[in-house]
């Protein structure tokens, strides 16, 4: 079995490369991805002007600290629940029983997980244009931000696995570890907030505190932010500090797991089984939903709703039992990121901030329970008009869209100095884009249904959104060319987009209403 894991890794890599040529759709997707990335990079450089002044790059380092910290805390805390695993059921069934040392198997899992973490952070590469335009960041700095994000995810997942391995069998140890974990997070958060609110210039104070040595000591995210800040600012001292501490932390965790008497095989078995069952159900067209261990049923039965509206109230009850709030955690993270972006872009106007928030909305937009409902027979059997059933199913997300827009643009109003009318227009426009993105999902579902090539679904979804946005863009260009102004030119463009989003969405829903008329139309 000598060299078996190396052979397995090399063979997997070769098969992935071969699959690009055996499946043309994957190759096309890869080429389109590289094309769009090239446009982002060269487009950002094309806007360079001689002698252009850039903002202080320390702001970007501070923003990286906030982003990395949110990712680390939300991922590492999974260790107090179901934990995390780097292995699948094929590893459990074939690799674990093989005569291979546990340490080698662990390194194999770590290497695979590191490559997966790099893929997760690919979307950051598309942020190059505005980072280069505002802060003058080069390709090396953008790659540093991307690698720091990916390594933060990797180390957070490793931390979650370690916490779970040493606390899963003892509730007392779990509570102690949880108290220590959140105490550390709270101490750093209080330190940051106190230093910010004690100063009059709070933005400058936040940037200075976030880049202070004390915040660099925050586990993982502080070290990664130091390394990234060192690359961007050219500080070798910060780069060496962040990289060295991260390497020591990684080596320490691997050493602890390797030398401990605990058999991590047993710790990852349960999580691997849960992951495999979810994958199997998805392949079979059965959409499952992760529910808390202890579910409080509370009230039962539908007290409201007649006809198609019964689906709306049914979804509200399902959300309550699944402990899903109006906004989920990823959506809140994207809202916070958009608010931070407005702080650094306050001199660029509301259009740049609004465009960025809509861009981030692409990653947080979801259909809620619509896809889950399509896998069940009831929505097709209810004798109601298909369009009415479709609207009632999508109605569940409307409250979240409104709350999301308010949470975003109320702080942005004070940051950018917007008037109440401008703020209200931005909120309404943001909600209309939520409707547009959700409708785009419906169109993709109607046309493609359930297919195995998910990359093509994503590509087709983006193309749909581009086509559906054309009427709003055309109207905004027409109004600007005619000299029509609503408040100002920036708000005029936003109003034009919002004005066309609703009729375009309604038309698309009407044309795709038969997605609920026959289950065969969408592959169910």
Cα–Cα dist 86/115, whole Å = 11
Q: What is residue 276's predicted lDDT score, i.e. its pLDDT?
A: 60
76 near 159, Cβ under 8 Å? yes
369 near 318, Cβ under 8 Å? yes
Residue 277 confidence (pLDDT) above 80: no
Based on the fold, state whether residues 248 and 395 are members of the same structural domain: no
Cα–Cα dist 335/360, whole Å = 8
Better pLDDT: 289 or 396: 396
State the average pLDDT over residues 382-406: 83
Per-residue model confidence as pLDDT tens digits over 42-96: 765 655 556 667 777 888 888 888 888 888 888 888 777 655 556 666 766 777 7
Q: What is residue 86's predicted lDDT score, i.e. its pLDDT?
A: 61
DSSP conformation class of 216:
H
DSSP conformation class of 486:
B
Count of Cβ atoms closer than 10 Å to residue 3 Cβ: 8
Q: What is residue 448's predicted lDDT score, i.e. its pLDDT?
A: 67
Residue-averaged pLDDT of the chain: 77
In a domain, 14, yes or no: no
* pTM of model > 0.75: no
Based on the fold, state whether residues 400 and 339 are members of the same structural domain: yes
Based on the fold, state whether residues 372 and 250 are members of the same structural domain: no
In a domain, 270, yes or no: yes
Q: What is residue 241's predicted lDDT score, i.e. its pLDDT?
A: 92
Per-residue model confidence as pLDDT tens digits over 279-296: 565 555 554 554 445 555
DSSP conformation class of 384:
S
Q: What is residue 232's predicted lDDT score, i.e. its pLDDT?
A: 87
Q: What is residue 1's predicted lDDT score, i.e. its pLDDT?
A: 45
Which of these ranges, 4-18, 30-44, 157-171, has the smallest mean pLDDT?
Answer: 30-44
Based on the fold, state whether residues 375 and 251 are members of the same structural domain: no
Better pLDDT: 190 or 19: 190
pLDDT bucket at 344, cuts 50 / 70 / 90: confident
Better pLDDT: 186 or 121: 186
Torsion 164-167-173-175 (CA) sign: positive
Cα–Cα dist 287/31, whole Å = 31
Cα-only R_g, the chain: 25
Q: What is residue 50's predicted lDDT score, i.e. its pLDDT?
A: 63
**The token pair that represents 31 in the structure block:** 């080429």
Count of Cβ atoms closer than 10 Å to residue 200 Cβ: 7
Counting Cα atoms < 13 Å in the Cβ hemisphere of 354 gives: 26
Per-residue model confidence as pLDDT tens digits over 117-141: 666 677 677 777 777 777 778 888 8
In a domain, 26, yes or no: no
Better pLDDT: 258 or 507: 507
DSSP conformation class of 488:
B
pLDDT bucket at 261, cuts 50 / 70 / 90: low
Which of these ranges, 28-42, 242-256, 320-334, has the smallest mean pLDDT?
Answer: 320-334
Q: What is residue 451's predicted lDDT score, i.e. its pLDDT?
A: 47
The DSSP bridge partners found for residue 486 are: 488
State the average pLDDT over residues 311-330: 71
Q: Which domain holds residue 340?
A: 312-522
- Count: domains in the chain: 2
In a domain, 345, yes or no: yes
Please identify, among 278, 303, 327, the residue that sits at the C-terminal boundary of a domain.
Answer: 278
Q: What is residue 248's predicted lDDT score, i.e. its pLDDT?
A: 93
In a domain, 16, yes or no: no
Residues composing the chain: 524
Q: What is residue 305's predicted lDDT score, i.e. its pLDDT?
A: 72
Residue 12 confidence (pLDDT) above 80: no
In a domain, 284, yes or no: no
**The token pair that represents 456 in the structure block:** 């093509």
In a domain, 17, yes or no: no
């Amino acid at each position: 079995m000598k060299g078996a894991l190396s052979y397995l890794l090399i063979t997997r890599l070769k098969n992935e490369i071969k699959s690009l040529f055996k499946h043309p759709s994957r190759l096309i997707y890869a080429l389109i991805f590289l094309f769009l990335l090239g446009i982002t990079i060269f487009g950002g450089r094309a806007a360079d002007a001689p002698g252009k002044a850039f903002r202080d790059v320390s702001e970007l380092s501070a923003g990286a600290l906030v982003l990395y910290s949110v990712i680390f805390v939300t991922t590492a805390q999974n260790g107090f629940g179901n934990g995390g695993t780097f292995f699948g059921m094929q590893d459990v069934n074939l690799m674990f029983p093989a005569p291979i040392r546990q340490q080698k198997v662990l390194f194999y899992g770590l290497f695979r997980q590191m490559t997966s973490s790099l893929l997760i952070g690919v979307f950051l590469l598309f942020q190059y244009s505005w980072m280069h335009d505002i802060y003058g960041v080069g390709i090396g700095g953008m790659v540093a931000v991307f690698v720091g994000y990916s390594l933060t995810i990797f180390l957070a997942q490793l931390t979650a696995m370690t916490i779970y391995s040493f606390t899963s069998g003892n509730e007392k140890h779990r509570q102690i570890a949880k108290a220590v974990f959140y105490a550390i997070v709270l101490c750093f958060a209080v330190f940051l907030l106190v230093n910010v609110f004690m100063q009059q210039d709070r933005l400058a104070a936040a940037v200075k505190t976030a880049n202070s040595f004390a915040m660099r000591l925050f586990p993982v995210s502080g070290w990664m932010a130091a390394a990234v800040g060192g690359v961007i600012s050219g500080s070798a001292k910060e780069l060496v500090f962040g990289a060295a501490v991260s390497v020591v932390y990684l080596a320490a965790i691997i050493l602890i797991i390797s030398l401990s008497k605990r058999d991590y095989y047993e710790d990852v078995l349960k999580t691997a089984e849960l992951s495999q069952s979810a994958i199997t159900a998805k392949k079979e067209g059965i959409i499952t939903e992760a529910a808390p261990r202890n579910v409080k049923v509370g009230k039962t039965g539908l007290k409201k709703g007649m006809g198609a509206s019964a689906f709306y109230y049914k979804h509200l009850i399902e959300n309550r039992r699944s402990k899903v709030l109006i906004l989920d955690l990823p959506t809140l993270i994207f809202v916070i990121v958009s608010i931070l972006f407005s702080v650094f872009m306050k001199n660029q106007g509301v259009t740049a901030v609004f465009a960025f928030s809509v861009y981030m909305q692409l990653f947080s937009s979801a259909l809620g329970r619509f896809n889950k409902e399509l896998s069940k027979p009831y929505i097709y059997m209810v004798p109601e008009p298909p369009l009415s059933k479709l609207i009632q199913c999508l109605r569940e997300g409307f409250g979240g869209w409104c709350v999301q827009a308010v949470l975003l643009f109320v702080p942005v109003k004070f940051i950018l100095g917007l008037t109440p009318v401008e703020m209200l227009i931005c909120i309404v426009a943001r909600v209309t884009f939520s409707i547009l993105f959700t409708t785009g999902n419906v169109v993709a579902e109607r046309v493609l249904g359930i297919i195995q090539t998910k990359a093509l679904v994503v590509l087709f979804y983006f193309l749909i959104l581009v086509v559906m946005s054309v009427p709003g863009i055309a109207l905004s260009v027409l109004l600007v060319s005619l000299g029509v102004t609503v408040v100002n030119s920036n708000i005029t463009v936003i109003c034009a987009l919002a004005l066309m989003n609703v009729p375009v969405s309604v038309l698309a829903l009407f044309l795709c209403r038969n997605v609920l008329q026959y289950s065969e139309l969408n592959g169910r």
